[in-house]
């Protein structure tokens, strides 16, 4: 065997070894960082029938127990749709605020808003450890990136979470089993927009006119208790 051939064989072996190592399952399920923001594309469909497609963003600040989830025009978000607000465009831009006051649903263009629920109904900021106990599914290519996936059954949906090996979010996927036919909801993150670190407090300011209870307040499904 020539020196060049031997060297090539060593390189191929090292590449194969590194690829095998990258497929090793993580030792534990991921934990979200305490503060981050990220943009996304969102879509929902029933079976193979498209229901909606829109952009959005997450602002997550568990360190201060607050979050804001934005769903841009075209959204079909269940919290935006089902609390009884009557905007001219039901599928217009909608923001969900989570704080110590509970969850508020806000249509910023029309400046209408209401409080949908509180801690007693489970409307608190999602814990960074919400994936504890999830099952590792292996890797999947999403947006050209190799992403690791976990699946976890919930009370009303089956959740899947995908992220890169260094913790950048790739995709959130859920099948809502509380309704028949089942609704598939997919959020594919714009990884280049992902940012860690402090978020301006003003991002989480609930408008002063958000001072009424929603006409149809949110109630968790029967048998599902609220979070403390």
pLDDT for residue 11 is more than 70: no
Mean pLDDT of the chain: 86
Domain count, the chain: 1
For the cut 80, the answer to whether the pLDDT of residue 60 exceeds it is yes
| pLDDT interval class at 4 (50, 70, 90) | very low
7 pLDDT band (50/70/90 cuts)? very low
Q: Can you give the pLDDT at residue 179?
A: 66
Instruction: Give the three-class secondary structure for 30.
Output: coil
Work out the pLDDT band at 178, boundaries 50, 70, 90. low
Q: Please give the pLDDT value at position 183.
A: 87
- Mapped onto helix, strand or coil, the DSSP state of residue 169 is strand
pLDDT of residue 14: 32
Query: b/e for 145-169, b at 16 or more Cβ within 10 A?
Result: bebbbbebeeeebebbbbbbeeebb
List pLDDT tens digits, range 69-123.
999 999 999 999 999 999 999 999 999 999 999 999 999 999 999 999 999 998 9
Work out the pLDDT band at 152, boundaries 50, 70, 90: very high
Residue-number span of the structural domain to which 148 is assigned? 41-204
Pick from 67, 133, 139, 130: nearest CA to 99: 67
- Is residue 29 situated within a structural domain? no
* pLDDT at 48 (0 to 100): 79
Backbone φ, ψ for residue 161 (5° rounding): -130, 130
CA distances from 112 to 23, 79, 148, 210 (A): 48, 14, 39, 7
Region 50-60: mean pLDDT is: 95
pLDDT at 190: 98
Q: Name which residue leads in pLDDT, 164 or 157.
A: 164
CB 67 within 8 A of CB 59: yes
User: pLDDT at position 49, please?
Assistant: 87
CATH code for position 47: 2.50.20
List alpha helices for 72-219, DSSP H.
78-82
What CA dihedral angle connects 73, 77, 83 and 85, to 10 degrees?
10
Q: Is 133 part of a structural domain of the chain?
A: yes
Residue 193 clears pLDDT 60, i.e. is over it:
yes
4: in domain: no
Where do the H-state alpha helices sit in the chain? 3-22, 78-82
Nearest residue to 160 via CA among 168, 143, 148: 148
Looking at the domain assignment, is residue 192 inside a domain?
Answer: yes
Would residue 21 count as lying in a domain? no
Asked whether residue 12 is domain-assigned, the answer is no
- Residue 148 in any domain: the answer is yes
Q: What percent of the chain lies above the pLDDT cut of 90? A: 71
CA gap 130, 152 in Å, rounded? 9
Contacts of residue 82, defined as CB under 8 A and 6 or more positions apart, other chains included, come to: 216, 218
Residue 78 covered by a domain: yes
């Amino acid at each position: 065997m020539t020196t060049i051939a031997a060297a090539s064989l060593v390189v191929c072996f090292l590449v194969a070894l590194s690829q095998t190592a990258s497929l090793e399952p993580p030792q534990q399920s991921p934990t979200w960082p305490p503060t981050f923001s990220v943009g996304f594309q969102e879509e929902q469909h029933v079976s193979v029938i498209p229901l909606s497609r829109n952009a959005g963003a997450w602002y997550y600040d568990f360190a201060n127990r607050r979050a804001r989830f934005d769903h841009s025009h075209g959204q079909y978000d269940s919290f935006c749709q089902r609390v009884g607000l009557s905007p001219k465009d039901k599928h217009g831009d909608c923001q969900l605020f989570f704080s110590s006051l509970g969850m508020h649903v806000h249509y910023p263009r029309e400046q209408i808003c209401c409080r949908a629920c509180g801690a007693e109904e489970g409307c608190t900021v999602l814990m960074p450890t919400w994936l504890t106990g999830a099952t590792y599914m292996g890797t999947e290519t999403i947006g050209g990136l190799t992403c690791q996936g976990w699946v976890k059954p919930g009370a009303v949906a089956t959740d899947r979470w995908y992220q890169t090996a260094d913790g950048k979010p790739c995709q959130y996927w859920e099948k809502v089993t509380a309704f028949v036919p089942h609704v598939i909801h997919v959020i594919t993150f714009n990884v280049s927009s992902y940012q860690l670190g402090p978020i301006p407090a003003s991002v989480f300011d609930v408008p002063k006119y958000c001072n009424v209870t929603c006409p149809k307040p949110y109630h968790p499904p029967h048998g599902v208790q609220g979070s403390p």
